[in-house]
Structure 1
């Protein structure tokens, strides 16, 4: 008995750290959205669209199909969130041509189905709650922005809603070939948004009240993106007693003198921690003098043990669902890591190719340097020989000055002789007198 008490005590202590899946706020669990008995619908959610209704498949919801522009679609929950601490996971995928666009809006708003309907943050008007917007804002490759409104601002008539965003980050979400995951944390006065395992933004000044409804809307222009939602799960560390279901039918009735006690069927939605708070205190054996009191004490203790075992069973079942979801997330992470490792192998191969190319280029450069040096040496030698031969040719081709001097001197001598002969003849000739 002491061992069983220790085990039950340990389980009770661990309940405070457990995360419980809120089924009525979640869909896409175990990769299942639409059930076979009601195809085309999502349990606990309403699906609408303009002009066409979204396609609800077994494993995903196609909010806006590719190739059909000007679409608006919405998924709104029937139940409200009655938790102060919670975690929401949304898996989505966006595909489209290079110049296509559109926006996906994740809401946690008051009366979203009637006040927001299929609108995006740009056309929603006055709403009360939170919205995360994924689009190609400002021509960027992708951006995730967060907006809050208490119903006082009309977003449809805001000239520029960028200044109203309380947080944003750049993301890559289009044509990835895989779903992207957005995780929203709201616990212990802290609000955080993660995208694909990395933090987008965080704040300790945001508190979202209870009673809001989860929803997803999408809107596309003439050249549309295709937005698909695979999963929306909401988990919390507490179980809300207001959503517990009453026992169907009556259990075993045990008469104890004038009183009758009704036993609850295991698997109800009461808080598992409450079952461990109702432990019957120990009493002395002297107080049980009659068989009726002994039987009543035995019945009460068996009933308490039965409730505790039922609480343990519910806790284990919920833990199993959470563990399966985390196992799928780990599998997705492992697949992504394997893909990254394969890309790293390609990087190593590319690096080896680059190194081989570098060696080839280095060898080619050395050979080219040697060739250039050899050609430079031979060119210098040929140019030197050419200059020497050119000088010799020029010297050989220039005529000698001796002949020129001989001609000039001979000409002068001939002229001088002629002149002397002329003078002599003139002097020897007869003189004429007047």
Structure 2
């Protein structure tokens, strides 16, 4: 498929518009998993701006792209992850959770999305049925009423003890069915809070909506999960808090950033200065100024959305960024064209070097074929020829050799023994010599004995 330059530019503009809205209004210190690749932990131990905790010496496992709140084994485990900063935003905001639940055929467990006051946040991880009195909102995902799964919403102002209620399921202000277990892919729950309503969406479909709920600012977000004796493993892959307001990109902690207003003023002055320079450049181009395109910025620095107040400044900033993207796409297209021409040239050179088979190569092939035919003939001769006569001749030759060896070997051994045996004269000489030596020795012994001194008692 070939994409024209105009198509590439359209795609780049669409991607830029989407990514700009997404990146500008995601509250980074209340979100994780929003970056490219879904990375949530730089060191596989903790998540920036969040606290991960468990119960009874169990700590949820933090991976590079997910958090395992409850393990596949053993059961009866609880884990949670809580934002360390509150939401300082009134009006339109959205909380998005991507999770997955896997387990055995009859596994059980539940998942909660919390938005509660600071006094209830960061406490021991609990479920709806074991939580103390809390002030805020909780969405519960479990197998309520045996429908294969459901999503329900509960509100509390701190006066209702849900764990002691005889039938806490009747306190839900909204619910819908959702088969969330062992799906093979992630489930997405979106909680959207606007000025006049609160809506919960599950996998792109509306779950429930009400215009009687208004959540205050300054509360904390958290996600907790618990498993039963037959456990369900809950994995959280993404949790994103975003807003459609252009007031701020990241919601700062008011106590942590006391000089935020001064910082915003500096950013505003810098943006206004950049806008004036851009406007001056556009006017020069409009009235035929000799200024060339060298004044077009190659890169635009990142600024907070709160520093851009007017629509004119927003348009100028967006125009600069789109123009930079357009130039980059044009450069990439030109580079692709150059690579295509280079590959075309290399292919033509390679095809020119490939020549037909000449006579010498044909003669070599004929010689090889001749050798193959000769080899096949020899193989056929060896397979068809009878070697019985040849084997009989070899057998007779071996027998003749054996008979000749049997006849000649005793004679040869007798001749060797006869030629080397001792003669009778030699034997007699040796016997006489031995007799003389023994007699001489006896005579010498007698003389020495007679000449020895004698003792008389």
Q: Return the alpha-carbon distance in structure 1 between the equivalents of residues 88 and 319 of structure 2.
A: 23
2:149–2:178 contact (8 Å) kept in structure 1:
yes
User: 1:61 aligned to 2:63?
Assistant: no
* Alpha-carbon distance, 1:80 to partner: 1.0
The structure where strand makes up a greater share of residues is 1
- Can you list the C-alpha shifts for 1:312-354, whole angstroms capped at 9, x where unaligned? 779999xxxxxxxxxxxxxxxxxxxxxxxxxxxxxxxxxxxxx
State the secondary structure of the residue aligned to 1:163: helix
Corresponding residue for residue 269 of structure 1 = 304
> Cα gap change, 1:129/1:151 in structure 2, threshold over 3 Å: closer, same or farther?
same
User: 1:119 aligned to 2:126?
Assistant: yes
> Cα gap change, 1:18/1:31 in structure 2, threshold over 3 Å: closer, same or farther?
closer
Q: Return the alpha-carbon distance in structure 2 between the equivalents of residues 28 and 182 of structure 1.
A: 15
* Alpha-carbon distance, 1:269 to partner: 2.8
Q: Kindly report which structure 2 residues correspond to 1:21-100, keeping only aligned pairs within 5 A, or say none.
A: 21-29=26-34, 30-36=36-42, 38-51=43-56, 52-83=58-89, 84-100=91-107
Pairing partner for 2:151 from 138, 144, 152: 144
Corresponding residue for residue 328 of structure 1 = none
Corresponding residue for residue 228 of structure 2 = 221
Corresponding residue for residue 197 of structure 1 = 204
* Alpha-carbon distance, 1:308 to partner: 8.4
Q: Return the alpha-carbon distance in structure 2 between the equivalents of residues 194 and 102 of structure 1.
A: 21
Q: Kindly report which structure 2 residues correspond to 1:154-173, keeping only aligned pairs within 5 A, or say none.
A: 154-173=161-180
Q: Return the alpha-carbon distance in structure 1 between the equivalents of residues 65 and 225 of structure 2.
A: 18
Q: Return the alpha-carbon distance in structure 1 between the equivalents of residues 322 and 121 of structure 2.
A: 36
Q: Return the alpha-carbon distance in structure 2 between the equivalents of residues 230 and 67 of structure 1.
A: 20
* Alpha-carbon distance, 1:267 to partner: 3.2
Q: Kindly report which structure 2 residues correspond to 1:290-369, keeping only aligned pairs within 5 A, or say none.
A: none
* Alpha-carbon distance, 1:272 to partner: 4.4
Q: Return the alpha-carbon distance in structure 1 between the equivalents of residues 204 and 124 of structure 2.
A: 30
* Alpha-carbon distance, 1:25 to partner: 1.0
* Alpha-carbon distance, 1:240 to partner: 4.7
- Can you list the C-alpha shifts for 1:209-256, whole angstroms capped at 9, x where unaligned? 1111110000111111000000011110124556285659x99x99xx
Q: Return the alpha-carbon distance in structure 2 between the equivalents of residues 178 and 44 of structure 1.
A: 27
Q: Return the alpha-carbon distance in structure 2 between the equivalents of residues 316 and 112 of structure 1.
A: 49
1:25–1:44 contact (8 Å) kept in structure 2:
yes
State the secondary structure of the residue aligned to 2:158: strand
1:89–1:233 contact (8 Å) kept in structure 2:
yes
Corresponding residue for residue 235 of structure 1 = 242
Q: Return the alpha-carbon distance in structure 2 between the equivalents of residues 221 and 235 of structure 1.
A: 33
> Cα gap change, 1:107/1:114 in structure 2, threshold over 3 Å: closer, same or farther?
closer
State the secondary structure of the residue aligned to 2:169: helix
Corresponding residue for residue 142 of structure 2 = 135
State the secondary structure of the residue aligned to 2:185: coil
Q: Return the alpha-carbon distance in structure 2 between the equivalents of residues 182 and 95 of structure 1.
A: 17
2:98–2:237 contact (8 Å) kept in structure 1:
yes
1:90–1:181 contact (8 Å) kept in structure 2:
yes
Corresponding residue for residue 402 of structure 2 = none
2:41–2:63 contact (8 Å) kept in structure 1:
no
Q: Give the alignment's Cα RMSD to 1 decimal.
A: 3.3
Q: Return the alpha-carbon distance in structure 2 between the equivalents of residues 117 and 237 of structure 1.
A: 33
Corresponding residue for residue 180 of structure 1 = 187
**What is the count of residue pairs matched by the alignment?**
262
* Alpha-carbon distance, 1:34 to partner: 3.4
Corresponding residue for residue 12 of structure 2 = none
State the secondary structure of the residue aligned to 1:153: coil
Q: Return the alpha-carbon distance in structure 2 between the equivalents of residues 72 and 193 of structure 1.
A: 25
- Can you list the C-alpha shifts for 1:341-385, whole angstroms capped at 9, x where unaligned? xxxxxxxxxxxxxxxxxxxxxxxxxxxxxxxxxxxxxxxxxxxxx
Q: Return the alpha-carbon distance in structure 1 between the equivalents of residues 131 and 119 of structure 2.
A: 10
Q: Return the alpha-carbon distance in structure 2 between the equivalents of residues 228 and 204 of structure 1.
A: 31
1:266–1:310 contact (8 Å) kept in structure 2:
no
Q: Return the alpha-carbon distance in structure 1 between the equivalents of residues 129 and 107 of structure 2.
A: 18
Corresponding residue for residue 286 of structure 2 = none
* Alpha-carbon distance, 1:179 to partner: 0.5
State the secondary structure of the residue aligned to 2:134: strand
Q: Return the alpha-carbon distance in structure 1 between the equivalents of residues 301 and 315 of structure 2.
A: 9
1:124–1:156 contact (8 Å) kept in structure 2:
yes
Q: Return the alpha-carbon distance in structure 2 between the equivalents of residues 316 and 42 of structure 1.
A: 36
Q: Return the alpha-carbon distance in structure 2 between the equivalents of residues 104 and 140 of structure 1.
A: 16
1:272–1:311 contact (8 Å) kept in structure 2:
no
Which residues of structure 2 form unaligned runs of 5+? 1-16, 271-299, 325-457
1:110–1:213 contact (8 Å) kept in structure 2:
yes
Which residues of structure 1 form unaligned runs of 5+? 1-13, 255-264, 280-304, 318-434
* Alpha-carbon distance, 1:41 to partner: 1.1
Q: Return the alpha-carbon distance in structure 2 between the equivalents of residues 40 and 270 of structure 1.
A: 32
Corresponding residue for residue 420 of structure 1 = none
User: Structure 2-normalised TM-score?
Assistant: 0.52
